[in-house]
Amino acid sequence: MSDTALTPGIRAGRLNAAAYDENFGDLHPRLDDHEALVAADRCYFCHDAPCVTACPTDIDIPLFIRQIATGTPEAAAKTILSQNILGGMCARVCPTETLCEEACVRETAEGKPVLIGQLQRYATDVLMDQGSHPFARAEATGKRIAVVGAGPAGLSCAHRLAMRGHDVTVFDGRAKPGGLNEYGIAAYKSVDHFAEREVEWLLQIGGITVETGKRLGNDLTLKQLQADHDAVFLGIGLGGVNALGLEAEEKDGITNAVDFIADLRQASDLAKLPVGRDVVVIGGGMTAVDAAVQAKLLGALNVSLVYRRGRERMNASTFEQDLAASKGVRIITNAQPIAIHGNGAVREVEFEYADDDLKPTGQTFRLPADQVFKAIGQTLDGDGLPDLDGRKIAVTDTGRTSIAGVWAGGDCAAGGDDLTVTAVAEGRDAAEDIHASLMG
Each residue's pLDDT tens digit, 397-427: 999 999 999 999 999 999 988 899 999 999 9
Per-residue pLDDT, 1:
45
381-403 average pLDDT score:
95
C-alpha distances in Å from residue 44, one per residue of 39, 48, 105, 299: 11, 11, 8, 44
In the chain, % of residues over pLDDT 90: 93
Residue 8 confidence (pLDDT) above 80:
no
**Whether CATH 3.20.20.70 fits 33-129:** no
Computed over its alpha carbons, how large is the radius of gyration of the chain?
Answer: 22
Please provide the DSSP assignment of 121-152 as one string: HHHHHHHHHTT-------S----EEEEE--SH
Q: What is d(CA 279, CA 9) in angstroms, rounded to the nearest whole number?
A: 10
Q: What is the CA 320 to chain-centroid distance, rounded?
A: 14
**Residue 5's pLDDT band (boundaries 50, 70, 90)?**
very low
Domains of the chain, by residue range, sit at: 33-129, 144-239+380-439, 241-377
Beta-ladder partners of 402: none
Residue 6: per-residue pLDDT: 52
The residue-averaged pLDDT of 363-370 equals 98
Q: Read out DSSP for 331-391?
A: EE-SEEEEEEE-SSB--EEEEEEE-TT--EEEEEEEEE-SEEEE-S-EE---SS---EETT
Global confidence as pTM: 0.95
Q: Do the beta carbons of residue 137 and residue 206 sit within 8 Å? A: yes
User: Above 50 in pLDDT, residue 154?
Assistant: yes
In this predicted model, what pLDDT tens digit does every residue of 255-305 receive, in sequence order?
999 999 999 999 999 999 999 999 999 999 999 999 999 999 999 999 999
Note the pLDDT of residue 338. 97
- Domains 144-239+380-439 and 241-377 fall in the same CATH topology: yes
Alpha-carbon distance values, 200 to 82, 128, 361, 400, 419 (Å): 17, 10, 53, 28, 22
**Is it the case that residue 356 has pLDDT exceeding 90?**
no
Q: Which CATH number fits domain 144-239+380-439: 3.30.565.10, 3.50.50.60, 3.30.70.270, 3.40.47.10?
A: 3.50.50.60
For residue 233, pLDDT over 90 is answered with yes
- Residue pLDDT, tens place only, 60-118: 999 999 999 999 999 999 999 999 999 999 999 999 999 999 999 999 999 999 999 99
CB atoms within 10 A of CB 384: 10
pLDDT at 436 over 70: yes
Q: What is the pLDDT of residue 302?
A: 98
3, pLDDT greater than 90: no
> CB–CB of 95/425 below 8 Å?
no
DSSP class of 31: P
Q: Which CATH number fits domain 241-377: 3.30.70.890, 3.50.50.60, 3.40.50.720, 3.90.1170.40?
A: 3.50.50.60
